[in-house]
Structure 1
Amino acid sequence: MTTPHNGDWDDDLADILQRLVTLGPTPEPAPASAPPVPPQPAVPPMPSAPPQAPPAAAGPEPVVAEWWRKDGPTPPPVHTPVPLGAAQGDQAGARPSFESAAQAFWAPVGRILADQVPHIASQVGQQVGQLLTETEAQRHAREQVQYEALIASQRAVRDAQFAAAGETPEQRDERHRVEDVLTPGHRRDDLVGMVDLLADRIGETPEERAARREAERELARQRARAEEDALRAAQGESPEQRTRRHRVQRLADQREARTRARRQRRHAARTKGDSSDRARRFRRWCVLTAISATSGYWTGLVSLAAPGGPFVGLLLAAGGWAVDLHTRDRGRLRVSEVRGPGPLLLLIALRVPVASGLAVALGLDHALAALPL
């Protein structure tokens, strides 16, 4: 329901609120000693768009990516690569081409090759010419002269140095003797030397090869002895001790020479035998092994190993075979090559474990039990 005063109600309500505010309690004045309260700063309104970078200012100050952070770290300057052979201020049109840069790079290599290739070619041509035109006698004579001249020059330099240090003539002669022993044989290390070495190796007989190896072995032994003498003399070895050591070494060399000669005789005897000789050696081996197996059964070794079966017999045979090989010079002396009653009895006694193990592994223990032993 609408009345004529409805339109003025809003104005009346506003007048009543204004009177209430005016009639309210008034605030007490602040004491004189209290500092005045500063007014709160005004809050700026939110911008309607993100900030934009200002135009570049004239001056040496660099422009960074974010203009409102000028106090922060300055980014490093950008390095512009410059082509090979061009200066910093050159323009793009003045830069050298790829062909000219490659030519400038390979120019020193070309100069080096131009200097070295003729020298290498001349050396190769000289060696090939010597190989084709020089005789064997001329080659040996020239090599001998060059080698002797080199050795003489080196020895003269050493003699002068030792003489300045106070070396006596007796000491010089002894040093020359040791140097002659320690100096290896002369041989060319080029193409001619390789061809000569191949010709010597292909044309030598087995006897020459054996003699050459023996000479090389003896020379190596002498060099080792000379080096050992020098080392022990530096450590304070007396002449009496050196003489005693040389005597022991000489006796050891004699024993080694006798052993080597005995092995060579055995090897020569084996190579001369034919099929009948091999059959005879096999029969002798069977007889000696049977005697050893019978001795093993008589001593009870076969009966002791029989319950274990073939595996125990093989283990027993392997252990006895290792001892037997060590006794017969690691197998170089064959069973059929043993001569004399004493060596035969010792061989039979040492081969008892081998024969007993073979008898157990092959199931011959029952056959041995049937024998009237």
Structure 2
Amino acid sequence: MTIPPPPTQPPTVGMPVPEPGEWWRKSGPRIPAPAVPEPAVHTPVPVGAGPAEAASIDDVARAFWAPAREILTEQAGAIAAQVGEQVGQLLTESEAQRAARQQVEYEQLLAAQRARMDSALDKVGETREQKAERHRIEDVLTPGQPVRRDDLVGFADLLAERISETPQDRAARRDQERELEKQRARAEEDRKRAAAGETPAQRALRHRQHQLADRREARARARRQRRRAARTTGTTDRVRRFRRWATLTAISAVGGYSVGLVPLITPGGPYVGLLLAAAGWALDLHLRDRGRLRVSEVRGAGPLAILVLSRIPVASGLAVACGIAPLFSALHLF
């Protein structure tokens, strides 16, 4: 068997040579690209519209506001009567008459609740001593003043009370609240310890310790008050009052400019400013106990903040009436 000689040239001579890096694309298998579905076309249909006709904007708005209109129609009379009653009480009753009426209603409510509780506990065999001890603890835990109202009259009374408070009244009120909370806490402690088996001798010793602690606290408080009174100095009373009034009025005017009240009434002229100042002054006098409390006599961060906010109409009206409203925009405060 004869073996042929090897070829002098490779068998690929004369064939096209692919570019480096592209041979796998040109000679490899071709994978078809995935089919992209066409996006679905959504046609918006108004609320409540059928396939034949489209609802109008008026029909949609009428259907939307129908429940609210029914509620307002049913409650409008009751709301108007309640607001009218509160405004009538605020304008006709004096503070003493209102406090007396609320105190009587509060005492009647407490008496009715105590009568129901006594009747229920008598059925389960409560003794006379247990009833007397329960009444004593209830008298301590129950506040002597009615809870403040949560309506318009209560809010106005609260603002007037906080603004018209002097530093002495505020200190007395805080001392009274602190003493009442202390009595309530001790009455609750007596009830818990009596249920745990405390003897009368142990209770008397504990009460004696409380009395000694109260005396030491009262002496320390009186010493601090004497130091504070000794450090009180100042200029003449009239200059100090005017300076404080001007400062608080300027702060209220800046607040009125920041909320947009001054630019709002500026086109109306000085008469509109005087009208707004008069209306705001009436509210200011009501909150300051009909003017018995001076603006310069208000102390404390909370009462000062309420005073500044309530005097925004007065200060804004005075700024417009005096013609100094353009000064705020020239100062570039905001």
User: What's the TM-score once normalised by structure 1's chain length?
Assistant: 0.45
Greater RCO, 1 or 2 (C-alpha within 8 Å, sep 6+): 2
* Max Rg structure: 1
User: What's the TM-score once normalised by structure 2's chain length?
Assistant: 0.49
